[in-house]
Amino acid sequence: MDQMLSRQDLMRKIQELSFCAVELNLFLDTHPSDAQALQDYSYVLKELQQLKQNYNQKYGPLLGFGEAYVSGNYWKWVAEDEKWPWEGDMVF
């Protein structure tokens, strides 16, 4: 299903899940043995990894420094037609 999403929608889903991960991370920092929170964190992480992998393969790496899959004959991280996050949504 995620294969059908536009780039913007895919990014939005990543932002939504990634935010849940941040929120659960902070909760777990002060509640490190909360079983339900731990379980939810694992669930979010699994979904997020799937979405990010999908994004990386289609649009280039979200992470530099050896942390994400790259392909092709150009370092897409700095492709001139790519927007950086602060420049507004990735509407193409």
Partner 1 sequence: MWIYEKKLQVPVNIKRRDLKMANAIFTQFGGPNGELAAALRYLSQRVNMPTSKSKGLLNDIGTEELAHVEVIQAIIYQLTKDATPQEFIDAGLQGYYGIWDGGIFPSSPLGEPFTTAYINNVGDPIANIYENLAAEEKARATYEQLLNLTNDPDIIKPLSFLRQREIIHFQRFGELLDDLQLHKQMKTQFRVPKIYFETDSL
Partner 2 sequence: MITPNIEQYLKHESAPKLAQAYIPIQMYRNLFNVNEALYHGTIFRELFQPYKPSHPLKF
Picking from 81, 90, 70, the residue whose alpha carbon sits closest to that of residue 6 is 90
Residue 13 binds which one of partner 2, partner 1, none, with CB within 5 to 8 A depending on kind? partner 2
* Per CB under 8 A, 23 contacts partner 1: yes
Examine residue 81 and tell whether it contacts partner 1 (CB under 8 A).
no
Instruction: Decide: is 36 part of the binding site for partner 2 (CB under 8 A).
Output: yes
Query: b/e per residue, 79-88, with b = 16+ CB within 10 A?
Result: eeeeeeeeee
Question: Counting contacts by CB under 8 A, is residue 62 touching partner 1?
Answer: yes
Interface residue with partner 2, options 8, 9, 19, 71 (CB under 8 A): 19
As measured in angstroms, the least distance from the Cβ of 48 to partner 2 is 10
19 with 25: CB under 8 angstroms?
Answer: no
Q: Provide the mask over 37-76, with x wherever binding to partner 2 is found by CB under 8 A and - wherever it is not.
A: x--x---x--x-----------------------------
* CA angle 76–52–45, rounded 5-degree value: 150
Our measurement of the distance from residue 29's CA atom to the centroid of its chain's CA atoms, rounded to an integer in Å, reads 21
